[in-house]
């Protein structure tokens, strides 16, 4: 897969899956807009790993609708256009119903939905309008296995990712006549900073044994699926949700 001179905005690109996605796009010839929220140092570390370029860095709190609009405008102004949007930024917060107070419950739901779902919707809107004017584009959303199997300790996360799946399929139908194609990747556990507290804890071996491969995904494996959905030739896969969970959860 080649993406020569394609302009790709990757949200949450400072680490983990986002960094792996940015690296694979850059390695395939794309120019990457490296987005981060708080960790500027990590964003520059990502940038230093990317071949080709230039690959500028953009800061934005994607929970802020005005900041999302400005982010997309800044990418287009600095890089000339926007060919591919990768909605990767997200949060995962434990909030088991019997163990948190009502105020915490509300706060986690509000922050999780704002970060994982509403921000992605706003980015799809702003980037989608740019892509409609251009006459083409690709959007790939990074969802989760939890959208299908449930997240009993983090229900807001599971709900946000289920919403992302539905949003992506709705937009795939709406945007196809505009030559804009939308796909979703749904990983299980991945070797990232976000998952390390679980993978390095007493339950880590049990998590790895959920897959017949006896391990969790590497970020690069998730990135590979993202690049496929964003590639030329994958147009008829629009609306698809690709599971990247090592057969740890199979859905019909």
Catalytic pick from 36, 44, 102, 157?
157
Burial of 207 (0-12, 13-18, 19+ CB in 10 A): middle
What tokens appear for 60 in the block? 């934005």
Q: Write the CA distances from 80 to 72, 73, 74, 85, 180, integer angstroms.
A: 11, 10, 10, 14, 18
Query: Do the bridges between strand 137-142 and strand 180-187 make them parallel or antiparallel, or are there none, so unpaired?
Result: parallel
Asked if residues 116 and 214 have their Cβ atoms less than 8 Å apart, the reply is no
Question: Where in 72-221 does DSSP place strands (E)?
Answer: 84-87, 137-142, 180-187
**Residue 111 is inside which H or E element, if any?**
helix 102-113
Active site residue 102: no
- Whole-angstrom distance, CA of residue 71 vs CA of residue 175: 21
Q: Give 117's DSSP letter.
A: I
Asked if residues 115 and 90 have their Cβ atoms less than 8 Å apart, the reply is yes
Asked if residues 21 and 46 have their Cβ atoms less than 8 Å apart, the reply is no
Asked if residues 7 and 80 have their Cβ atoms less than 8 Å apart, the reply is yes
Residues with a catalytic annotation lie at 157
């Amino acid at each position: 897969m080649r993406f020569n001179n394609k302009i790709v905005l990757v949200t949450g690109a400072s680490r983990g899956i986002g960094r792996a996605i940015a690296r694979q796009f850059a390695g395939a010839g794309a120019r990457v807009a490296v987005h981060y929220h708080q960790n500027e140092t990590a964003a520059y570390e990502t940038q230093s790993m990317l071949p080709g370029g230039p690959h500028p860095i953009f800061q934005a709190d994607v929970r802020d609708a005005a900041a999302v609009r400005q982010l997309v405008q800044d990418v287009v102004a600095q890089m000339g256009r926007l060919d591919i949007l990768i909605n990767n930024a997200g949060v995962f917060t434990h909030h088991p119903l019997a163990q948190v107070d009502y105020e915490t419950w509300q706060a986690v739901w509000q922050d999780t939905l704002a970060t994982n779902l509403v921000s992605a919707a706003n980015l799809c809107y702003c980037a989608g309008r740019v892509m409609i004017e251009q006459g083409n584009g690709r959007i790939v959303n990074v969802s989760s296995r939890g959208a299908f199997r449930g997240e009993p300790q983090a229900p807001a996360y599971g709900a946000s990712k289920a919403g992302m799946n539905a949003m992506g399929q709705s937009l795939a139908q709406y945007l196809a006549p505009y030559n804009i194609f939308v796909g979703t990747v749904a990983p299980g556990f991945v070797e990232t900073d976000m998952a390390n507290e679980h993978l390095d804890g007493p339950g880590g071996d049990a998590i790895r044994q959920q897959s017949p491969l006896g391990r969790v995904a590497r970020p690069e494996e998730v990135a590979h699926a993202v690049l496929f959905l964003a590639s030329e030739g994958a147009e008829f896969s629009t609306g698809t949700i690709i599971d990247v969970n090592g057969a740890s959860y199979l859905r019909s």
